[in-house]
Chains A and B, each alone.
Chain A
Amino acid sequence: MAVVFEKTKGLTEKPTHYCPGCTHGIIHRLVAESLEELGLLDKAVGVAPVGCAVFAYDYFSCDMQEAAHGRAPACATGIKRVHPDSAVFTYQGDGDLASIGAAEIVHAAMRGEKVTTIFVNNAIYGMTGGQMAPTTLVGQKATTAPLGRDENHCGMPLRISEMLATIPKAVFVERVSVHDVPNILKAKKAIKKAFEIQMKGLGFTIVEVLSTCPTNWGKTPVEALKWLKENMVPYYPVQNFRTPEEVK
């Protein structure tokens, strides 16, 4: 019988700790499949964040580093500068990247570090139990915004892709979502493209992936996918912000 689907070699056999219905598992698979299909597993080094994906170093089968909170782009910079021919990626959540690590991501992009950032945006702090993130939507409830985010008190959610797309050396910036199969396929395409551009040495690449957090959103997995589509996508448009001429 023909094999139609196989688990990628880019992931280990270790069962993940993610909550039921969480989309991290899908995103891990897309990253691992992309690395495998591009033949990069043997020279890939990933950097795990602090947050829900903190144990990602156990799940990806390539070499991995675990960074301090928000510092993954700095670690990735160190790795890539030592091994310029390697495929270096950071895998970061929205608390890690958009809050405490805002400086590191902006400056990695500014320098045009030849790394790929997978930015998983689920609009909340998952690991610590549902606190407000810089990406939490206005009115969205969080344990530190019990009445919902009040824009007059703590501002408007940060659109990272739009911001980074203003930086010349951020050569590939795309926002994707994983709330349904067509979008998952588009996400895979974007991630693969980001790695291809990194290996061409063209500059900094980032794929923002809109993701769910059923546990901390207080929703079932199916409700969470629907909530993402109806609430996050309107504020965080799913689109390509920049692609280098060379690969268009």
Chain B
Amino acid sequence: MARELWKGNEAIAEAAIKAGCRFFFGYPITPQNEIPEYMSLRLPQEGGCFLQAESEVAAINMVYGAAGAGARVMTSSSSPGISLKQEGISYIAGAELPCVVVNIVRGGPGLGGIQPAQSDYFQATKGGGHGDYHLVVLAPDSIQEAVNLVQEAFDIADAYRNPVMILGDGMIGQMMEPVEFVGVPKRQLPEKTWATTGLRGRENHNIINSLFIDPAVCETHNQRLFKKYAEIEKNEIKVEEYNLEGAEIVFAAYGTVSRIVKNAIKALEKEGIKAGLIRPITLWPFPKANFLKAADMPSVKAFMSVEMSMGQMVEDVELSVKGKKPVYFYGRTGGMIPTPKAIVEEAKKILGGAK
């Protein structure tokens, strides 16, 4: 298939359909509206079902019902809407249901704004809802990568019976880029023998549930979840290392910002400063080992996390680096976007101080 020009949100929606998603429940919010709009047209053509729910709260609980019934199902929203979905996401994680949640992030807190941001890192990677649980969080840096990650997202969700979030900043949702819908290898997945399809001849009834009233049983359930999360951490980390060889400063950046950082790296190189980038593609599980390894490189003097937030991922960078090298932060927020020039200036300031 030839490369075509696609808007991010629509490309994500089409990729979901190509990945076998046949059910979508959503609610309008900017800047992700093209996803439900696209789904409302395309899903019926594929024999699927799109439903505009009365609220984000209802939408995520429709996802719970459909996922529990064995369907490939997705919802999408943007930051304030994701906050509303968090209750349901916690139940979905607790009941171990596979689904994909897309968050096209906008500035916050509160209503915030509608321009691109990365200030939902905490709510995406640190739980977001109540209780001990994790989502797998995938952060594409381009529309092509978003498309590829959608198939992965559904497969990871099914493989581990766990919700997966695609965390795209507003830029990923709104810009247009050339895309090729290449077939991402599909995984061998277990049959959903646990789904509530109606007995249909089965002897024992299936129950989808996250209630464990006996504290000992609830603890055992949590421990089992965390064994699963350990497997995910072992198998599913995705990360890009860029220009690390001989780097004096290593940037940490994900999504759109990582592309701006790459421009900054080129500009620094022209000034004779060697800089590299570690780009987490999975924000959870976080590529801790890559940062630790870079921290042990003699050339590396410092790390700098660049984000469209007031500093969220930087905490994971600090934890990963374990105090071996200083970790700095530069960010713009509220819908403002860091420029390569500003990043270069910040890096030079840090290296000046470190020399």
Residues B207 and A75 in contact, CB atoms below 8 Å apart: no
Within 8 A of B (CB), among A38-87: 41-45, 47, 54-55, 57-58, 60-68, 71, 74-79, 81-83, 86-87
A82 to B156, CA, bound (A): 21
A68 to B68, CA, bound (A): 13
Contacts of A36 in B (CB 8 A): none
Answer whether residue B137 sits at the interface, using C-beta atoms and an 8 A cutoff. no
Q: Which residue of B lies closest to A58 (CB)?
A: B207
Answer whether residue B23 sits at the interface, using C-beta atoms and an 8 A cutoff. yes
B88 to chain A, nearest CB (A): 6
B204 to chain A, nearest CB (A): 9
Residues A81 and B54 in contact, CB atoms below 8 Å apart: no
Q: Known: A75-B65, A78-B63, A79-B69. Contact between A63 and B198, CB under 8 A?
A: yes
Answer whether residue A103 sits at the interface, using C-beta atoms and an 8 A cutoff. yes
Residues B63 and A63 in contact, CB atoms below 8 Å apart: no
Q: Known: A68-B91, A81-B23. Contact between A45 and B198, CB under 8 A?
A: yes
A210 to B206, CA, bound (A): 29
Q: Known: A68-B91, A71-B88. Contact between A82 and B207, CB under 8 A?
A: no
Within 8 A of A (CB), among B51-105: 51, 53-55, 57-59, 61-71, 73, 87-88, 91, 95
Contacts of A44 in B (CB 8 A): 198-199
Interface residues of A, CB < 8 Å — how many?
37
Answer whether residue B201 sits at the interface, using C-beta atoms and an 8 A cutoff. yes
Contacts of B91 in A (CB 8 A): 67-68
Answer whether residue A104 sits at the interface, using C-beta atoms and an 8 A cutoff. yes
Contacts of A43 in B (CB 8 A): 198-200
Stretch binding the partner chain, chosen from B7-15, B117-125, B208-216: B208-216
From B67, B201, B211, A66 is in contact (CB under 8 Å) with: B211
Interface contact tally, CB-CB below 8 A: 135
Q: Which residue of B lies closest to A43 (CB)?
A: B198
Contacts of A57 in B (CB 8 A): 207, 209
Q: Known: A68-B61, A71-B57. Contact between A42 and B198, CB under 8 A?
A: yes
A133 to B57, CA, bound (A): 21
A12 to B64, CA, bound (A): 24
Answer whether residue B237 sits at the interface, using C-beta atoms and an 8 A cutoff. no
Residues B197 and A63 in contact, CB atoms below 8 Å apart: yes
Residues A74 and B49 in contact, CB atoms below 8 Å apart: no
A88 to chain B, nearest CB (A): 9
Residues B58 and A66 in contact, CB atoms below 8 Å apart: no
Contacts of A42 in B (CB 8 A): 198-201
Answer whether residue B254 sits at the interface, using C-beta atoms and an 8 A cutoff. no
Residues A74 and B198 in contact, CB atoms below 8 Å apart: no
Residues B198 and A86 in contact, CB atoms below 8 Å apart: yes
Answer whether residue A107 sits at the interface, using C-beta atoms and an 8 A cutoff. yes
Within 8 A of A (CB), among B163-191: none
Residues A103 and B54 in contact, CB atoms below 8 Å apart: yes
0 or 1 for each of A227-245: is its CB under 8 Å from B? (1 = yes):
0000000000000000000
6 contacts across the A-B interface (CB closer than 8 A): A57-B207, A65-B207, A67-B64, A71-B88, A78-B69, A82-B49
Known: A64-B208, A78-B61, A82-B23. 8 other contacts (CB 8 A): A42-B198, A47-B65, A67-B65, A71-B57, A71-B61, A74-B59, A104-B54, A104-B61
Per CB-CB distance, the 4 closest pairs between chain A and chain B, nearest first, are A78-B65, A78-B66, A75-B65, A74-B61
Q: Which residues of A contact B (CB under 8 A)?
A: 12, 41-45, 47, 54-55, 57-58, 60-68, 71, 74-79, 81-83, 86-87, 103-104, 106-107, 111
